[in-house]
Amino acid sequence: MSVIEVRELRKSYGGRPVVDGVSFAVEEGEIFGILGPNGAGKTTTVECVEGLRVPDAGRVRVAGLDPVDDHDEVTRILGAQLQQSELQPKLTVREALQLYASFHPDAADWRPLAERLGLAPKLSTRFAKLSGGQRQRLFIALALVGRPRIVVLDELTTGLDPRARRDTWELIEDVRAGGVTVLLVTHFMEEAQRLCDRIAVIDKGRLAALDTPAGLIRRSAGATVISFTPSAPLDDHDLAGLPAVASVEHRDGRITLSGTDETVNAVITLLARHRVTAHQLRVVDATLDDAFLDLTDDRAGEATA
Q: What is the CATH number of the domain that holds 31?
A: 3.40.50.300
Asked if residue 305 belongs to a domain, the reply is no
Percent of the chain with pLDDT over 90: 71
Give the Cα separation of 41 and 206 in Å (integer): 8
Predicted pLDDT of residue 11: 97
By the 8 A CB rule, do 28 and 195 touch?
A: no
Q: Is the pLDDT of residue 211 over 50?
A: yes
By the 8 A CB rule, do 153 and 172 touch?
A: yes
Predicted pLDDT of residue 303: 32
Asked if residue 50 belongs to a domain, the reply is yes
Shared domain check, 235 and 163: no
Residue 65 has what DSSP assignment?
A: B
Percent of the chain with pLDDT over 70: 96
Q: What is the mean pLDDT of residues 122-133?
A: 94
Predicted pLDDT of residue 305: 26
Domain span at 133: 2-214
Shared domain check, 253 and 105: no
Give the Cα separation of 101 and 96 in Å (integer): 8
Model confidence at 63, pLDDT cuts 50, 70, 90, reads very high
Asked if residue 76 belongs to a domain, the reply is yes
Predicted pLDDT of residue 202: 95
Asked if residue 298 belongs to a domain, the reply is no
Shared domain check, 184 and 49: yes
How many structural domains does the chain have? 2
Cα torsion at 64, 69, 71, 74 (round to 10°)?
0
Q: What is the mean pLDDT of residues 84-90?
A: 90
**Residue where a domain stops, chosen among 193, 214, 235:** 214
Shared domain check, 241 and 196: no
Q: What is the mean pLDDT of the chain?
A: 91
Shared domain check, 237 and 175: no
Shared domain check, 232 and 102: no
Asked if residue 304 belongs to a domain, the reply is no
Predicted pLDDT of residue 300: 42
Shared domain check, 74 and 46: yes
Q: Is the pLDDT of residue 105 over 70?
A: yes
Going along the chain, which residue ranges are E strands? Answer: 2-13, 16-27, 31-35, 57-62, 78-81, 150-154, 181-185, 198-203, 206-211, 224-230, 247-251, 254-259, 278-285
Shared domain check, 117 and 20: yes
Asked if residue 292 belongs to a domain, the reply is no
Shared domain check, 167 and 24: yes
- pLDDT tens, position by position, 212-247: 998 888 777 557 889 999 999 999 999 999 998 888
Q: Is the pLDDT of residue 259 over 90?
A: no
Q: What is the mean pLDDT of residues 52-70?
A: 97
Q: Around Cβ 230, how many Cβ atoms within 10 Å?
A: 18
Predicted pLDDT of residue 258: 84
Q: Is the pLDDT of residue 298 over 60?
A: no
Predicted pLDDT of residue 301: 40
For residues 122 and 294, the model is more confident at 122
Q: Give the chain's length.
A: 305
Range among 22-31, 215-224, 256-265, 276-285 with highest mean pLDDT value: 22-31
What is this structure's pTM? 0.79
Predicted pLDDT of residue 261: 83
Closest alpha carbon to 177 in 157, 197, 155, 156: 197
Q: What is the mean pLDDT of residues 53-81?
A: 95
Shared domain check, 190 and 268: no
Model confidence at 299, pLDDT cuts 50, 70, 90, reads very low
Give the Cα separation of 60 and 115 in Å (integer): 35
**Residue where a domain stops, chosen among 214, 231, 253:** 214
Asked if residue 226 belongs to a domain, the reply is yes
Closest alpha carbon to 286 in 227, 220, 228, 242: 220
Predicted pLDDT of residue 82: 84
**Residue where a domain stops, chosen among 170, 193, 214:** 214
Residue 270 makes CB contacts below 8 A (sequence gap 6+) with: 234, 238, 239, 242, 276
Q: What is the CATH number of the domain that holds 227?
A: 3.30.70.980
- pLDDT tens, position by position, 142-185: 999 999 999 999 988 888 888 888 988 998 999 999 999 999 99
Shared domain check, 204 and 232: no
Residue 36 makes CB contacts below 8 A (sequence gap 6+) with: 42, 201, 202, 203, 208, 296
Asked if residue 161 belongs to a domain, the reply is yes
Shared domain check, 277 and 197: no
